[in-house]
Amino acid sequence: MKPRILVTREVFQVTLDYLGQHFEVDSNQSDTPLTSAQLSGRLADKDGAMTVLTDRIDEVLLAHCPKLKAVCNIAVGYNNFDLKACTARGVLATNTPGVLDAATADFTWTLILATARRLTEAEAWLRAGEWKGWKLKQFLGTDVQGATLGVIGMGRIGQAVARRAQGFDMTVLYYNRKRLTPELERACHAQYASLDELLARADIVTLHTPYSPETHHLIGAAQLAKMKPSAILIHAARGGVVDDMALIEALETGKIAAAGLDVYENEPKFNPAFLKFKNVVLAPHIASATTNTRRNMAMLAAKNLVAALTTGNPPNLLNPKT
- The neighbour count for residue 52, using CB atoms within 10 Å, is 18
Please report, as residue ranges, which positions from 58 to 87 form the binding site for ligand DGY (by CB under 6 A): 75-77
Q: Is 127 an active-site residue?
A: no
- Measured in Å, how far apart are the chain's first and last C-alpha atoms? 31
* Measured CA angle at 319 (ends 40, 90), to 5 deg: 55
Q: Is 285 an active-site residue?
A: yes
Member of 7, 68, 99, 100 binding ligand DGY (CB under 6 A):
100
Please report, as residue ranges, which positions from 20 to 49 form the binding site for ligand DGY (by CB under 6 A): none
Taking each helix axis from N to C terminus, what angle separates 119-127 and 101-116, rounded to the nearest 10 degrees?
60
CB 239, min distance to ligand DGY, A: 10
- Secondary structure (DSSP) of 4-27: EEEE-S---HHHHHHHHHHSEEEE
Member of 209, 215, 223, 288 binding ligand DGY (CB under 6 A):
288
Please report, as residue ranges, which positions from 190 to 229 form the binding site for ligand DGY (by CB under 6 A): none
Give 75 or 144: the residue with its C-beta nearer to ligand DGY. Answer: 75
* Residue from 197, 249, 265, 267 carrying the catalytic annotation: 267
CA atoms of 60 and 36, how far apart (whole Å): 9
CA atoms of 275 and 261, how far apart (whole Å): 11
- The neighbour count for residue 80, using CB atoms within 10 Å, is 17
> Is residue 239 involved in binding ligand DGY (CB under 6 A)?
no
- Secondary structure (DSSP) of 86-101: HHHTT-EEE---STTH
Give 94 or 288: the residue with its C-beta nearer to ligand DGY. Answer: 288
CB 258, min distance to ligand DGY, A: 22
CA atoms of 205 and 198, how far apart (whole Å): 8
* Residue from 217, 238, 265, 295 carrying the catalytic annotation: 238
Give 164 or 208: the residue with its C-beta nearer to ligand DGY. Answer: 208
> Is residue 240 involved in binding ligand DGY (CB under 6 A)?
no
Give 297 or 306: the residue with its C-beta nearer to ligand DGY. Answer: 297
Q: Is 238 an active-site residue?
A: yes
Catalytic residues: 238, 267, 285
For ligand DGY, the binding residues (CB under 6 A) are: 53, 75-77, 100, 288
